[in-house]
Amino acid sequence: MFTPVILAGGNGSRLWPLSRQSFPKQFLALDGQDRGTMFQRTLARLQGLDHSPAVVVANEKHRFIVAEQLRVGGFTSRRIILEPLARNTAPAIALAVLEAIADGNDPILLVLSADHHIHDEGAFREAVRVAQLHAEAGRLVTFGITPTSAETGFGYIQCGQVVEKGGFAIAAFREKPSPEMADQYLNSGEYLWNSGMFMFRASVFLGELELHRSDILRACRVAMEHSQVDGHFTHVKSEQFSLCEEESVDCAVMERTTAGLVVPLDAGWNDLGSWSAIWDVGPRDTDSNRLEGDVLAISTRDCLVQSHHRLIATVGVDNLIIIETKDAVLIASKQDSQQVKDVVRRLQVEERLEFVGHPLVNRPWGHYDTVDKGERYQVKRISVLPGESLSLQLHYHRAEHWIVVSGTARVICGEQELILSENQSTYIPLGVKHSLSNPGKVPLELIEVQSGIYLGEDDIVRFEDRYGRLEGA
């Protein structure tokens, strides 16, 4: 028996414009197979192994996405730990380990990233069984991927002496190499790609972290002691956690410990860190194109083209990445797809909305989609799930007009309560307390027309909220 730890706090900037700050790549279905999101598939591939409910570590801003994807996928979790800010993998894993031992047990933990693609899940499960034997013997196990090319985008692990039961001592960790050095690594047969997956006993990891980076462990202990528990969520306080230094688990522990061991994994692994990687793992046609959505490709080869809202036609092109979303289009050469992160960095510096999120925004009660926006007005299509409700709130700078498209709406507006059905509408004046809920059995769809001098999402004053939100929509 082991406890999975799922690290779901990445931002996936190299997969913009599909991956955004508010909805990063681990919560998307990216590999062309209709089997759930990357996060859901990380949990699903554990089926057949003897494990307890997972500990999930995610960003505070993504808590409702995590909870909803667990619910939709039929997965249970022991705890969802919410980081107020990113501090890399060593602090994230430390938080999860402290949670795992909170009941007095000392479990074996399997640490997985939520955004990895693994083609041969049977081979993955067999490698986990091998790693568990070593973890039970007190080793800190990492999984090394059998390399298939001289990849410069991954770190490498140099294998040392063979250890019985299918493992190797770790001779050295190597950073991302130059092309020439990557060729040497591949040809030597001594190196594996560093996957960032681990397995160990909780007490062994804490002992090594205490030995090598006691400052990180101390800061994480204080942060957990001051955390706030809300159902399955553990909200880690920013004031304490911000004092923890950013550090990877490799630098903090694995490169320093004498208890390290690597188990080879040959399972069609990919960390899906770029659009070229998405092209690599997905199904392709006879011209080696991966085409998704409404795409018309003529004299086109070796391209990844994704259309999400409109027709894309290509003529006489090759080796291109073309990704279309409602508010942005990316066109890049496949060999330069790693540079998409530079686009994201510029969007962030310029404070562009395309950095933050999509026009369609998920909320715990459903979602809304911005249909149109101009000076002093904004139009949204709102979908409220059955039995869910928006908070009791008011706005100081805008009024709203709601028109029900389908379903049933219960509306509180001041002292008045209304039940509205299809084609009925109501007006919410500026400065009046109001709420919206769906008492029916089918989703509620309505059009919201906002008008006023300021239409930002931070013009919300909440009085009651079943989801424990303090700000945002």
Question: How do the domains of the chain map onto residue ranges?
Answer: 2-270, 275-343, 360-464
Global pTM value: 0.88
* Structure-model confidence comparison of residues 465 and 169, the more confident one: 169
Note the pLDDT tens digit of each residue in 386-407: 999 999 999 999 999 999 999 9
**Residues above pLDDT 70, as percent of the chain:** 98
Q: What is the pLDDT of residue 32?
A: 61
Q: How far is CA 108 from CA 198, 204, 248, in A?
A: 11, 10, 20
Give the three-state DSSP class for 274.
coil
Note the pLDDT tens digit of each residue in 156-200: 999 999 988 889 999 999 999 999 999 999 999 999 999 999 999
* Structure-model confidence comparison of residues 56 and 458, the more confident one: 56
**Do residues 115 and 272 touch, judged by C-beta distance below 8 A?**
yes
- Find where tokens 């028109």 sit: 403
Note the pLDDT tens digit of each residue in 103-121: 999 999 999 999 999 999 9
Compute the mean pLDDT over every residue in the chain, rounded to the nearest whole number.
Answer: 93
Statement: 360-464 belongs to CATH 3.30.300.30: no
| Bridge partner list, 143 | 263
**Integer Rg of the chain from CA:** 24
Q: What is the pLDDT of residue 313?
A: 98
Q: What is the pLDDT of residue 472?
A: 45
Note the pLDDT tens digit of each residue in 350-389: 999 899 988 888 888 999 999 998 999 999 999 999 999 9
Q: For residue 33, what pLDDT band results from cuts at 50, 70 and 90?
A: low
Q: What is the pLDDT of residue 152?
A: 86
Q: What is the pLDDT of residue 165?
A: 83
Q: With helix as H, strand as E and coil as C, how does 195-212 read? A: EEEEEEEHHHHHHHHHHH
* 319 pLDDT more than 80: yes
CATH fold for the domain made of 2-270: Spore Coat Polysaccharide Biosynthesis Protein SpsA; Chain A (3.90.550)
- Find where tokens 């509408």 sit: 425
* 473 pLDDT more than 50: no
| Bridge partner list, 264 | 144
DSSP string, 89-141: HHHHHHHHHHHHTTTS---EEEEEETT-EES-HHHHHHHHHHHHHHHHTT-EE
- Find where tokens 């619910």 sit: 71
